[in-house]
Amino acid sequence: MPICEECKSFFPIEEEPGKGDCVQKCVDARQTYFTARVVSADHDASRCDTFQKS
């Protein structure tokens, strides 16, 4: 089972072991932007569309 920690988009949070930011580059009709969402390192990523093994 792939987990978030193994993904290229996962950036660990130093102050909070076991957690990281899932950072994605997004484009909508008006702009490019980057989002960050806090995820657990061991979160199941098997259903994640954007998972990319690092």
Partner 1 sequence: MAEPALKSDIKDFEDKGQWWWAAEKKRSKRLDYLRKAVWRKGSTGGAPISPIKLDLEPAFRWIEFYKQFKCEPQPLRTAKIMAAMWETDPIYIVDKSQIVGSKTPTPSTEGWEGAGGMANAAVYNYPEILPEPMEEALRKVHEVGQFWDAEGDGMSRLISMADPEDIAKFQSGAIAWGSLIGGYSGKNYEYFMTGKRAFEDIIEEIDQYIAEAEEKTQGVSNPDMLPLYQKIINWEAMKISLEAGIKLAGRYARLARIIAENFETDPGRREELLRVSETCRRVPARPPRNLQESLQYDHFIQVMARKEQPEGAWPARPDYYHGPYYDRDVNIEKNITKEEALDLIGEFLIRAYDMPVVLAMGKWVREGLQGIAGTWVWTLGGVDQHGDDACNDMTIALMQAARLVRTPNPTFAFRWHPKVKDNVMREIFECIRHGLGYPAMRNDPILIANAMHWHRHPIEEARTWVHQACMSPCPTTKHGTQPMRMASATANCAKIIEYTLWNGYDHVVNMQMGPRTGDARNFTDFEQVFAAWVKQMEWLFSLLTRTVNFARYVQSDVAPRPFLSGISQRAVDAGIDVMRPDGERGNAWITAFTWVENPDSLTAIKKLIFDDAKYTMNQLMDALETNWDGYEEMRLDFVNQAPKWGNDDDDADNMMLRCLKECARFSRELKDPSGNSWPILPENVSGNIHYSSIVRALPNGRRQGDALYDGGISPGPGLDKKGPTAVLKSCGKIDHITDGRAFLLNQRLSPTQLQGEKGYQLWRAYMKTWADLGIDHVQFNMVSDETLRAAQKDPEKYSEVIVRVAGYSAHFVDISRKTQDNIIQRTVQGIGS
Least distance to partner 1 from the beta carbon of 28, Å?
A: 6
The number of residues that bind partner 1 (CB under 8 A) is 16
In this structure, the strands spanning 19-27 and 10-12 are antiparallel
Tell whether residue 49 is a contact of partner 1 (CB under 8 A).
Answer: no
Tell whether residue 28 is a contact of partner 1 (CB under 8 A).
Answer: yes
Tell me which residue of 5, 50, 42, 46 sits closest to 24, measured CA to CA: 50
Tell whether residue 47 is a contact of partner 1 (CB under 8 A).
Answer: no
Tell whether residue 54 is a contact of partner 1 (CB under 8 A).
Answer: no
